[in-house]
Structure 1
Amino acid sequence: MMNKVIAAILVLATIGSAKAQDSLTNTIGKPKKLDLSNRPNDHLVLQYGVAGWAGNVPDSAKPGGFSRFFNFYFMLDKPFKSDPHFSLGIGAGIGADNIFFKDKIVNISGTGSTLSFSDRSSGGDRFNKFKLTTIYVDVPLEIRYAQHPENPDKGFKASFGVKAGFLLKAYTKGKNYQNSSGQSLYGSGYIRKEYDKRFFNSTRLAAIGRIGLGHIALSGSYQFTSLLKSGAGPAINPFNIGLTLTGL
């Protein structure tokens, strides 16, 4: 899916660049000087949408419900002198993935060497609602395209690149502890949180891309590196698809 997003961005950026060349020349065909000093540069990037897991994910570990992500980044933007339609964006911020499960437990505080997943089919007590949250400090690096270099907030925009992440926190949150028959043991408002990072890779590397108009874009990412350490569980490659809001 991520390959298709990147391919679409490249094709549309090429088409947009060809159409926009006329706006960069004057009536006698000479390059027109552009004033980029006060242009909005998408310094603030907010992203929200659906999160999921790809890779060799067993049935016992498959998420359920509406898993979601939220990212916010502060970025710098440097236009290319050779073609101001394109620029380099680099920044830093926070990315959080919330993966939800139904009638399952992810035992991140377990004493074994492998992260264990269990569901109601194996018997025993379970949480009715359960989620795994991972929070990263991310450093995105992207090539940006803007149809209108002097005012990128109007017209077609696209970007593609990579981001490196450093794991800050990993925790689980379970709500409404139930017995094997589905009866609540401590009341529907009972919540338990557990924190532990030892099963998770401390860094991540992902492809990123977005395409849109003005301040709104459709975005996606695919993580090349596995969520879990080697030997700690299945090879899981997180991905997300959502909306991006840019400004400033």
Structure 2
Amino acid sequence: MKQIMRKLSLFVLAFTALFTAFAQETAKAPKQKKVYNLTDRSGDHIMFQIAANFWPGVPDSISSHIKGFNRSANLYVMLNKPFKSNPQYSFAFGAGISTSNIYFKNMEVGITATTPTMPFKATDSTNHFKKYKLTTAYLEIPIEFRFTSNPETPSKAWKVALGAKVGTMINAHTKGKNLLGSNGGTINEFTQKMGSKSFFNTTRLSATARVGYGNFSLFSSFALGNLFKDGVAHPVKPFQIGLCLSGL
């Protein structure tokens, strides 16, 4: 009987010690969540982008006439809304203009043609423009889900953003400068500008991504739909890669 009481006493003492240790552990103050002061940070900002444009998958008959660097510029006004639960994360939306230029060598794009398909006419052995480009412009609404390593000092923080943008085409035109003969001699120094949206899908949805440090980041934008209407030209889903200047 004494042995049983001794074992029971040891068990009670061990249980009491374990319970006391557990109680002390749970009684410790929980780790405090970092509080960010964003009172001096503006919620709206400008986002300016310059980029190179690409037409992936077009046939050689077209890609062989596309020049190497096809530049574009985008400008948006954005409103940033940090999450109250964690200001490192935020949601942003805005509006702006996106432009794209594709430069051709010895080729004309018949965007004003009355044919069922849009012609891409090679002009290697005939009169051609010294400079020739196709320009498109969209009014867009971008949205982004953002993360920043330090929301209090965004100019000294790493940033990542994933998003999308939807836009409507406001302009599409070709522009040729200085007409040359087949031998390269100048025929006429003038500028020809022709505009039409009839062959284009005028609504565009694109996926976007950005990563960078401070006010600068690398960005990409990929169109989820075709640039041209079905059946009028080879399917083209343009994408951009470039540099973004933004406060947030």
The normalised TM-score by structure 2 is: 0.83
**Preserved CA contact (<8 Å) 2:154 2:247:** no
Matches within 5 A, 1:38-117: 38-41=40-43, 43-55=45-57, 57-62=58-63, 63-117=66-120
How many matched pairs? 218
Give the equivalent residue in structure 2 for 1:118. Answer: 121
**What is the deviation of 1:158?**
1.2
Whole-angstrom distance in 1 between the partners of 2:74 and 2:44: 15
Unaligned runs of 5+ in 2: 1-28
Deviates more, 1:64-73 or 1:93-102: 64-73
- The 8 Å contact of residues 151 and 157 in structure 2, kept in 1 or not, is answered as no
Supply the distance in 2 between the matched residues of 1:84 and 1:40 (Cα, whole angstroms): 13
Greater Cα shift, 68-77 or 28-37: 28-37
How do 1:3-14 residues align onto structure 2 when only pairs under 5 Å count? none
Shift of 1:75: 0.7
Matches within 5 A, 1:183-222: 183-187=185-189, 190-222=190-222
Please say if residues 161 and 207 of structure 1, whose CA atoms lie closer than 8 Å, have aligned partners that are also in contact.
yes
Q: Which residue of 1 aligns with 2:18?
A: none
Does 191-200 or 146-155 show the bigger shift? Answer: 146-155
Trace 1:92-241 onto structure 2 (pairs within 5 A): 92-121=95-124, 123-187=125-189, 190-241=190-241
1:111-140 alpha-carbon deviations (Å, 9 max, x no partner):
11211101134x432212110000000111
Over aligned residue pairs, what C-alpha RMSD do you find? Answer: 1.7
Q: Are the aligned partners of 1:40 and 1:152 in contact in 2 as well (CA < 8 Å)?
A: no
Counterparts of 2:62 and 2:247 in 1: how far apart (Å)? 38
Q: What's the secondary structure of 2:84's corresponding residue?
A: coil
- 2:33 is the alignment partner of 1:31: yes
Could you tell which deviates more after superposition, 168-177 or 40-49?
A: 40-49
Q: Distance in 1 between matches of 2:45 and 2:147?
A: 15
Tell me the secondary structure at the aligned position of residue 43 of structure 1. strand
User: d(CA) in 1 for partners of 2:244 and 2:116?
Assistant: 38
CA contact (8 A) 2:52 2:69 kept: yes
How far did 1:167 drift?
Answer: 0.1
Paired residue type of 1:149: P
Which of the two has higher C-alpha Rg? Answer: 2
**Percent identical:** 41
Partners in 1 of 2:39 and 2:197 — Cα distance? 44
